Amino acid sequence: MLGRGLLKGLWVTLRHFVASYTKGPRRFPARYTPAGILARSEPDKDGMFTLQYPFEQFEMFPRFRGVLVHLRDPETGQHRCTACLACERACPHGVITIEVEGRGRERRLKSYLYDMGRCIFCRLCVEACRFDAIEMSQFYAFVSTRKDQVLTLEDMLALGDRSGIRHSGEAWS
Amino acid sequence: MGFLDALPATIMQWLRSTLNLFLPYWGTEVVVALVKVVLILVLAIMPVIVFTWMERKVLARAQDRFGPNVAGPYGLVVAFADALKILTKEDIIPAAADRPVFRWAPALVIIPTLLVFAVIPVGRGVIGVDLNVGILYVVSVASVNVIAVLAATWSSGNKYSLVAAFRTVAQLVSYEVPMAFAILAVVMAAGSLSTVQIVEAQAVPFAIAMPVAAAIYFVCALAEANRCPFDLLMGESEIVAGFNLEYSGMRFAMFYIAEYAHVFIIGALTTTLFLGGYKGPLLPGWFWFFAKSTAVVFVVLWIRATWPRMRLDQLLDFSWKFLTPLSMANLIAVGVAYKLAADPYLSAAISLVASGALVAVVLALARVAARRSRSRQLRAVVLGEV
């Protein structure tokens, strides 16, 4: 019959309209959990499946190269950086800026600045580090209105705590 | 429920009698008229707020998305956020524009749409003015839209908008003809041009008594309001943004408001002409009016979520070669049906049967035509003419 395709199309959109209200994890707490995201991502799920980006984010895979973070030494609770400048030299973009104070045995890290806006997330700095001090996290949503978004050592340590990474290269071994 | 039904009329009575205490007769009339004007403007503008939200929500849900859900509960205040954004935009007048026309075109677009609301019966006895030529007034005022769109496009000095204007004028002019015939069937059955009389005449809603006329009217109303699938005027991929391409800021908002007011007009007029207007059991009349209108608007949005845009030549073919003859045949069928019986229910039943016969004939003809065009295409392929 003529116009059958039109009616079929209407039926499809109506079904999706109704299913978006009746099917799938649609209520607030269920929606914004990792389990809820996974449940929605299955291919044959009815109802709404789109990721509500600012409110929920995909868990990135372990080898994802996100924001660079500092790791804590579990014994001292301090950062492990010895200010050897290996990462600074390895960086192709000059993203890392390290200031050192003291000489010889007194040599210590004064400040560690990481200009995330220019980072290309190549992980060469982590490869260069021999002291298990830095690693790339799974964080990726770092939108800023500032062009010069620079993280300090404290910022990076806090992010390292949040990331749950204990040793550099965990995911690679 | 009778109390709620009569509530608007009671308030108006009370206002009139209160004003009569300290105003002369003409003063009362002026104040009452002004109050009515304000109420009609509110009636015309409020749906814009609701329907912009509703459109985005319905489209999103049909596409398995949430739609606006950040601005307020369920994203309800998203229209106000839009309004704020639009108010902060720069008002640009292109160098090539015909300045006075360019400035006044948005007003010309919105005024006819607002005027239509004056004769729409919102509830029992709730109407701006009950003209005895109400429907004629609606049809004629709505056709000013053609001039308004043409003025807006011509004055912007932009080729793309001009192309949009050509399309729109062709479309609006061709779809007015079958629409007028469909409305004529209703007028004939109701025996009056007054919108209130038409609603009162619907013992059986005309959508049931004459489904063909209702379908034709609905399709033509979609075309008149430039809604999908007849939104050629807005073809983003072909003509940038359509007829309002050069407009920005508040002037653009005028087009936007007019568009959504138009959507509400589709709902309100379909309700008035075919769905029995404010009539309905138990609940007050104004509730039924708004419920039915919203249901019709939902269908409009539903269609928007589903169907692709039509090509211009197909669009005009559809109007002149299909809708116009069909609406004329429908006019004859409905006219005969309502002449055969005086009882409204009996004549509605006869009209329904006649409409069914009409649909059967149309389908048979369409099948023959489709087969013929298929065999023609096949012959072309076989003879290597393609």
Model confidence at B299, in pLDDT bands (50, 70, 90)? very high
What are the tens digits of pLDDT across the range B220-229? 998 888 887 8
Beta strands of A11-87 (E only): which ranges?
68-70
Model confidence at B253, in pLDDT bands (50, 70, 90)? confident
Q: What is the DSSP letter of A116?
A: G
Contact A10 B302 (CB under 8 A): yes
Does B363 reach chain A within 8 Å, measured CB to CB? yes
- Cis, peptide link before residue B229, omega less than 30° from 0: yes
Interface of A with B in 89-128 (CB under 8 A): none
Average pLDDT over residues B317-326: 88
pLDDT of residue B348: 82
pLDDT of residue B189: 86
State the best of A1, A15, A17, A23 to mutate against chain B, taking most chain B CBs within 10 Å.
A17
Name the range with the highest mean pLDDT among A52-56, B80-84, B134-138, B222-226. B134-138
What are the tens digits of pLDDT across the range B104-154? 888 888 888 888 888 888 887 778 788 888 899 988 888 888 888 888 888
Does A50 reach chain B within 8 Å, measured CB to CB? yes
Contact B307 A49 (CB under 8 A): no
Model confidence at B298, in pLDDT bands (50, 70, 90)? very high
Beta bridge partners of A36: none
Which of these ranges, A43-47, A87-91, B115-119, B288-292, has the smallest mean pLDDT?
A43-47
Q: Which of A17, A47, A49 sits opposite B62 (nearest CB)?
A: A17
| pLDDT score of A63 more than 80 | yes
Q: What is the DSSP letter of B202?
A: -
Q: Which of B306, B363, B367 sits opposite A9 (nearest CB)?
A: B306
Q: How far is B117 from chain A (nearest CA, A)?
A: 30
| pLDDT score of B103 more than 70 | yes
Of residues B244 and B40, the one with the higher pLDDT is: B40
- Contact of B264 with B54, CB cutoff 8 Å: no
What global pTM score does this model have?
Answer: 0.80
Kindly state the percentage of chain B with pLDDT values over 90.
6
| pLDDT score of A1 more than 70 | no
| 3-class secondary structure, B206 | helix
Model confidence at B65, in pLDDT bands (50, 70, 90)? confident
Total count of residues recorded for chain B: 386
Does A51 reach chain B within 8 Å, measured CB to CB? no
Residue of A nearest to B362 (CA): A2
Contact A14 B61 (CB under 8 A): no
What are the tens digits of pLDDT across the range B172-219? 888 888 999 999 988 988 888 888 888 888 888 888 888 888 999 999
pLDDT of residue A92: 92
> Nearest-CA neighbor of B51 among B270, B263, B266?
B263
Beta bridge partners of A79: A72
What are the tens digits of pLDDT across the range A152-165? 888 888 888 888 88
Pairing of strands A150-151, A68-70: unpaired
Is 0.90 exceeded by the ipTM? Answer: no
Q: How far is A142 from chain B (nearest CA, A)?
A: 21
Average pLDDT over residues B323-330: 89
Q: Which of A2, A16, A50 sits opposite B62 (nearest CB)?
A: A16
Phi/psi for B229 (5° steps) reads -90, 15
Maximum Cα–Cα distance across chain B: 88
State the best of B74, B303, B304, B306 to mutate against chain A, taking most chain A CBs within 10 Å.
B306
- Cis, peptide link before residue B211, omega less than 30° from 0: no
Kindly state the percentage of chain A with pLDDT values over 90.
12
Mean confidence (pLDDT) of chain A: 83
Distance in angstroms (rounded) separating the CA atoms of residues B226 and B239: 15
Does B14 reach chain A within 8 Å, measured CB to CB? no
| pLDDT score of B2 more than 70 | no
List of chain A residues whose C-beta atoms are within 8 Å of the C-beta of residue B303: 10
Contact A2 B58 (CB under 8 A): no
E strand or H helix that includes residue A96: strand A96-101
| pLDDT score of B386 more than 60 | no
